[in-house]
Structure 1
Amino acid sequence: MPVLMVFLGGMVGAPVRFLVDRAVQRRHDGVFPWGTFVINTTGSFVLGALGAAAVHHGLGADLSLLLGTGVCGGFTTFSTFSYETVRLMEDGSLAEAGLNAVGSLALGLAAAALGFALLTWV
């Protein structure tokens, strides 16, 4: 059953990632990968909230696997973030590469902490 939960969640998260990335990126010119930046920050917030729901509100293991590992795992993308950062460096966009690397890490951690804090408080 756990593998099925992860599989089903990933089936939702991955296509949503693709659609959100395209929608966000279409609205921004330039080389910065706004789609991936928004996706990973949003996914970090949701995963933080799910963590708090599991710890403080009794979110079950199967639902945690479905939503956390499956949906959030399919939605967020470390490999694309890494590739886009390397691509920015290779293209000579060093400021954008640095902003992507540092900004993604800082905002991702802050978003996860905020999601956890909000669901702990509720």
Structure 2
Amino acid sequence: MIGWRGYLQVGVGSGLGALSRALVGQAAILALGSAFIWATLAVNVLGSWLIAVVASRAAYRPHGISARWYPLVAVGFCGGFTTFSMFGLEVIYLLSTEQTLYAIVYVFSSVVLWLAAAWLGQLSGRPTKP
């Protein structure tokens, strides 16, 4: 159970994650002319990697800095940053506009990239041998 500091960390992290998500969307519009799909894919891949790094480091060092910052980064920031609900909405939109092949490719590539990012994050979070 987390105390008031943990809840404060979650709140601050959520706000920073949501703000970062909005900035990624704006960057995608400036760079690509549209944030549709690409921004969502990017934040979900980055979020998958980051949450796995923090969780892995916290597991290997339960009293280290990663464990202390877990509520801020993993629960708060990654929770506010990643956009699984937007992903679902985009897939439904693609299906409803009869872009079925695009929807299938988007779902498949998203899941594969998210899992790959999470796996790489877990590897990145492991302690290095001296």
Compute the TM-score of the two structures, normalised by the length of structure 2.
0.84
Shift of 1:5: 1.2
Shift of 1:92: 1.4
Q: Given the alignment of the two structures, is residue 67 of structure 1 paired with residue 73 of structure 2, yes or no?
A: yes
* Matching residue's letter, 2:13: G
Q: Given the alignment of the two structures, is residue 111 of structure 1 paired with residue 117 of structure 2, yes or no?
A: yes
Shift of 1:29: 5.6
Shift of 1:17: 0.2
Structure 1 residues 30 and 94, CA gap change in structure 2 (3 angstroms):
farther
Structure 1 residues 64 and 31, CA gap change in structure 2 (3 angstroms):
closer
Between the aligned partners of 2:72 and 2:110, the Cα distance in structure 1 is 24
Match for residue 42 of structure 1?
46
- Equivalent positions of 1:1-122 (< 5 A) are 1=4, 2-28=6-32, 33-57=37-61, 58-59=64-65, 61-122=67-128
Aligned 8 A contact 1:5 1:62 in 2 = no
CA RMSD across the alignment: 1.9
Tell me the matched-pair count. 122
Unmatched 5+ stretches in structure 2: none
Between the aligned partners of 1:24 and 1:55, the Cα distance in structure 2 is 34
Aligned 8 A contact 2:59 2:67 in 1 = no
* Matching residue's letter, 2:37: P
Compute the TM-score of the two structures, normalised by the length of structure 1.
0.89
Question: Among the aligned pairs, what percent are the same residue?
Answer: 33
Shift of 1:55: 1.1
Aligned 8 A contact 1:32 1:100 in 2 = no
Q: Which has the larger radius of gyration?
A: 2
Unmatched 5+ stretches in structure 1: none
